[in-house]
């Protein structure tokens, strides 16, 4: 069996597991909607104001939802011992880890993209901007998953670590947030959103290539304790 | 096939767990690591499995330093820790298939392994419905799928009932007969009759 | 034998050597600081635009430089820790973090003090200050992670990975914050953007920068010695040290 084959099998396994825990996979979605809801409640529902903050609101809600879902990414693997086995396989841990993060993105983050346009319309974003919003999220949320996964791997040996995870992750999320929202803002103002989108794509390439080795190194360290 | 340890020592949280530990193990032999809780049994086994580096000393696999023979070693070794390495929300069979795919080994042995460990009838149930003993059996059936030369087992008999222990002893004995090697820790006595058992006592 | 030397002898040697080095460093630091401050606060001509308020740059700018410099030094220790597993590098890495926090806070505080007369507000979302604030969180993350893990050698490896990830991210974060800043407000006067600086202004600034570097050395050594003794309290050299001290 080739490496590609086993990566595919790993991805299928994770998708199957996520599917059997549909209820849990729903939680990030509910969280996302709730955070989007809090902004108008906290700031006021004036249409102009909401329209102005809509891109930022959706991006921040998506970012927090990804953050919330990260803690369980490697923790169950660590606790049930399957991480040890993964490390001992005669395969590149970097590739295995990248596959797992991708499967996680597919099952927990991608559904957010289906909800995002609905929330965007509810916040008063005009419909011609939606496609840019979706593009920015499609390019940006994998960055959030891959960068966040590094932190999730770093805190694997620490129980009750939600706050620490946020402290480690949020500063690293700043670039994706800035370029994601400014792409949407540009589009809303009628300026070309291409610049920020290109930079987001560059960030995506960077995080896809650089974070799996870092995640693998952190997981090895965690297991060697 | 042989594994050899030279002057291993390990320090954990300011505590010297063991030092100057040397032994070697040949085909057909079993190394039984004994010692009280906290004496470093698990840590030693994790070092031997390649999950952790010794603070001092070196390991050799077929006369080559382990660090340079890792790829060959991982093909020839199966590790069963006290954590089972099983996904609760998959069935027993799905678990073994996922494992076979990850290790790039043939899935043909899966049925036979399930039969031998007595899990055949339960193989399509989710593991979360298994008892602790059944989970342990499922974990041990990995040994029968991969058929590696060297088995490293951390407390393999834990949470097994009498029948399970007998099953384990049968599997282990067969493995040794076929010139396999086993390194294991145990609280129990291991009844393996005529096989050559090397004992290693870690004093705390 | 070599390894034993590496692990056991070198911390003991470092402890004794650093103990002798610290007084010398203090002797260098004090005059540098006094001359630098005197030059900056008294002899340097006041700025034609900002008057005397600009003088805070003699603390602000070197502190901001140091906050970045220390993170880069930590990245070097992180590489050494990950590749060669040298205990001393682990200790120097984690001992640098609190000093880095100190300089970052100093840079933030002086930046905000300077902002009051210049912008009329204590905090303006200036690109440099915002990046500096994010840097502070990167430092705090390093410390938080280290504190949370009991086994300190493992903790050091985790922290090393985090520091390297941070090092890759710092330029990206800085660049993105700058982009964001130009997007949302016209660039105001920033502290360090002086087209040309008078030589009388520059010399005290450089002296302050060197003084701060020496100060980093002093506090790093003090921190590292404490960390070293704490980690090695079971080893022979620490026990010998305790006996020596209780004798004299």
Q: What does pLDDT average to over chain A? A: 93
Res. C248 pLDDT band, cuts 50 70 90: low
Residue C105, pLDDT > 90, answer yes
| Chain B: residues touching C (Cβ < 8 Å) | 12-15, 56
Mean pLDDT of B195-200: 82
| pLDDT for res C2 | 53
Nearest to C111 by CA among C96, C95, C103, C123: C123
- Domain with A208, as residue range(s), is 3-224
Q: Model confidence over A135-157: pLDDT tens digits? A: 999 999 999 999 999 999 999 99
Q: Name the domain count of chain A.
A: 1
Residue A90's SS3 state is: coil
Residue B3, pLDDT > 50, answer yes
Residue B20, pLDDT > 60, answer yes
Contact between chains at B13 and C234 (C-beta distance less than 8 A): no
Burial of C203 (0-12, 13-18, 19+ CB in 10 A): middle
Q: Is the dihedral of CA B89, B90, B96, B99 positive or negative?
A: negative
Residue C5, pLDDT > 50, answer no
- pLDDT > 90: what percent of chain C? 52
pTM of the prediction?
0.93
| pLDDT for res C125 | 83
Which residues on chain A are in Cβ contact (under 8 Å) with B74?
88-90
| pLDDT for res A199 | 96
Q: Model confidence over A146-198: pLDDT tens digits? A: 999 999 999 999 988 889 999 999 999 999 999 999 999 999 988 999 999 99
Contact C132, C65 (CB under 8 A): no
Size of interface A-B (CB pairs under 8 A): 83
Nearest to A149 by CA among A196, A94, A91, A224: A94
Burial of C104 (0-12, 13-18, 19+ CB in 10 A): buried
Residue B179's SS3 state is: coil
| pLDDT for res B37 | 82
Q: Does C141 contact chain A (CB < 8 Å)?
A: yes
Residue B61's SS3 state is: strand
Res. B204 pLDDT band, cuts 50 70 90: low
Q: What does pLDDT average to over chain B? A: 89
Q: Model confidence over C161-191: pLDDT tens digits? A: 999 999 999 999 999 998 888 776 544 445 5
Least confident span in A121-130, C154-163, C227-236: C227-236
Which chains border B (3 or more CB–CB pairs < 8 Å)? A, C
Contact C87, C12 (CB under 8 A): no
Residue B200, pLDDT > 60, answer yes
Task: Using CB atoms, pick whichever of C3, C4, C150 lies closest to residue B13.
Answer: C150
Which chains border A (3 or more CB–CB pairs < 8 Å)? B, C
Which residues on chain B are in Cβ contact (under 8 Å) with A91?
102, 104
Q: Does A3 contact chain B (CB < 8 Å)?
A: yes
Residue B195, pLDDT > 80, answer no
Give the H or E element holding residue A68.
helix A47-70
Burial of A176 (0-12, 13-18, 19+ CB in 10 A): buried
Least confident span in B142-156, C114-128, C166-180: C114-128
Burial of A41 (0-12, 13-18, 19+ CB in 10 A): exposed
Residue C8, pLDDT > 50, answer no
The yes or no reply on domain B2-202 and CATH 3.40.50.12500 is: no
Residue C94, pLDDT > 70, answer yes
Torsion, Cα of A20, A23, A28, A29 (10° steps): 110
Contact between chains at B89 and A21 (C-beta distance less than 8 A): yes
Q: Model confidence over C226-239: pLDDT tens digits? A: 999 888 887 788 88
Q: Model confidence over A27-74: pLDDT tens digits? A: 999 999 999 999 999 988 898 999 999 999 999 999 999 999 998 899
Contact between chains at A168 and C140 (C-beta distance less than 8 A): no
d(CA B193, CA B45): 24
Mean pLDDT of C79-104: 94
- Bigger pLDDT: C43 vs B188: C43
Residue C210, pLDDT > 70, answer yes
């Amino acid at each position: 069996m080739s490496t590609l084959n086993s990566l595919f099998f790993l991805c299928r396994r994770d998708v199957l597991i996520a599917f059997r825990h549909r209820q849990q996979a729903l939680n990030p979605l509910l969280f996302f909607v709730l955070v989007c809801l809090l902004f108008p409640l906290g700031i006021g529902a004036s249409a102009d104001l909401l329209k102005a903050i809509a891109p930022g609101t959706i991006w921040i809600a998506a970012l927090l939802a990804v953050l919330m879902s990260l803690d369980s990414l490697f923790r169950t693997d660590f606790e049930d011992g399957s991480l040890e086995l993964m490390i001992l396989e005669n395969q590149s841990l970097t590739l295995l880890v990248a596959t797992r993060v991708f499967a996680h993105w597919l099952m927990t983050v991608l559904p957010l993209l289906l909800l995002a346009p609905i929330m965007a319309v509810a916040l008063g974003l005009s419909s011609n901007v939606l496609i840019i919003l979706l593009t920015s999220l499609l390019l940006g949320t994998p960055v959030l998953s891959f960068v966040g996964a590094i932190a999730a791997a770093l805190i694997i040996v620490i129980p009750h670590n939600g706050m620490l995870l946020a402290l480690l992750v949020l500063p690293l999320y700043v670039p994706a947030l800035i370029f994601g929202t400014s792409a949407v803002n540009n589009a809303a103002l009628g300026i070309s959103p291409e610049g920020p989108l290109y930079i987001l794509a560059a960030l995506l390439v960077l995080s896809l290539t650089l974070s799996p080795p870092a995640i693998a190194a952190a997981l090895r360290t965690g297991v060697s304790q | 096939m042989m594994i050899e340890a030279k002057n291993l020592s390990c320090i954990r949280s300011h505590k010297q767990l063991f030092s100057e530990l040397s032994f070697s193990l040949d085909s057909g032999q079993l190394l039984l690591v004994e010692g009280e809780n906290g004496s470093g049994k698990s840590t030693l086994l994790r070092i031997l499995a390649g999950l952790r580096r010794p603070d001092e000393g070196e390991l050799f696999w077929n006369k080559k330093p382990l660090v340079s023979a890792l790829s060959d070693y991982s093909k020839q070794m199966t590790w069963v820790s006290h954590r089972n390495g099983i996904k609760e929300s998959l069935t027993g069979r799905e678990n073994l298939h996922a494992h076979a795919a990850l290790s790039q080994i043939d899935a043909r042995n899966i049925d036979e392994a399930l039969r031998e460990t007595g899990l055949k009838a339960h193989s399509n149930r989710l593991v979360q419905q298994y008892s602790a003993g059944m989970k342990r059996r499922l974990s041990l059936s990995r040994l029968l799928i991969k058929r590696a030369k060297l088995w490293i087992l951390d407390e393999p008999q834990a949470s097994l009932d009498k029948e399970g222990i007998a099953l384990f002893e049968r599997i282990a004995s067969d493995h040794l007969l076929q010139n396999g090697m086993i390194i294991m820790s145990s609280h129990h006595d291991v009844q393996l009759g005529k096989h050559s058992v090397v004992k290693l006592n870690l004093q705390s | 034998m070599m390894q034993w030397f590496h692990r056991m002898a070198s911390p003991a040697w470092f402890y004794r050597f650093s103990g002798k080095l610290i007084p010398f460093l203090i002797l260098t630091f004090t005059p540098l600081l006094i001359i630098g401050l005197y030059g900056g606060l008294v002899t340097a001509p006041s700025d034609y635009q900002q008057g005397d308020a600009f003088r805070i740059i003699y603390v602000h700018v070197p502190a901001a430089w140091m906050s970045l410099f220390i993170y880069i030094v930590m990245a070097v220790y992180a590489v050494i820790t990950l590749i060669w597993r040298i205990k001393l590098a682990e200790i120097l890495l984690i001992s640098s973090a609190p000093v880095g926090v100190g300089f970052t806070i100093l840079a933030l505080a002086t930046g905000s003090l300077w902002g009051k007369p210049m912008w009329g507000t204590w905090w303006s979302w200036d690109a440099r200050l915002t990046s500096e604030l994010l840097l502070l969180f990167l430092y705090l993350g390093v410390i938080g992670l280290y504190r949370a893990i009991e086994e300190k050698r493992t903790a050091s490896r985790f922290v090393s990975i985090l520091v390297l990830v941070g090092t890759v991210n710092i330029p990206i974060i800085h660049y993105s914050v700058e982009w964001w800043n130009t997007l949302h407000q016209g660039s105001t006067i920033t502290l360090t953007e002086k087209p040309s600086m008078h030589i009388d202004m520059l010399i005290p600034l450089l002296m302050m920068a060197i003084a701060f570097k020496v100060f980093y050395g002093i506090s790093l050594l003090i921190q590292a010695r404490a960390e070293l003794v704490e980690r090695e309290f079971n080893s022979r050299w620490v026990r010998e040290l305790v006996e020596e001290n209780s004798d004299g």
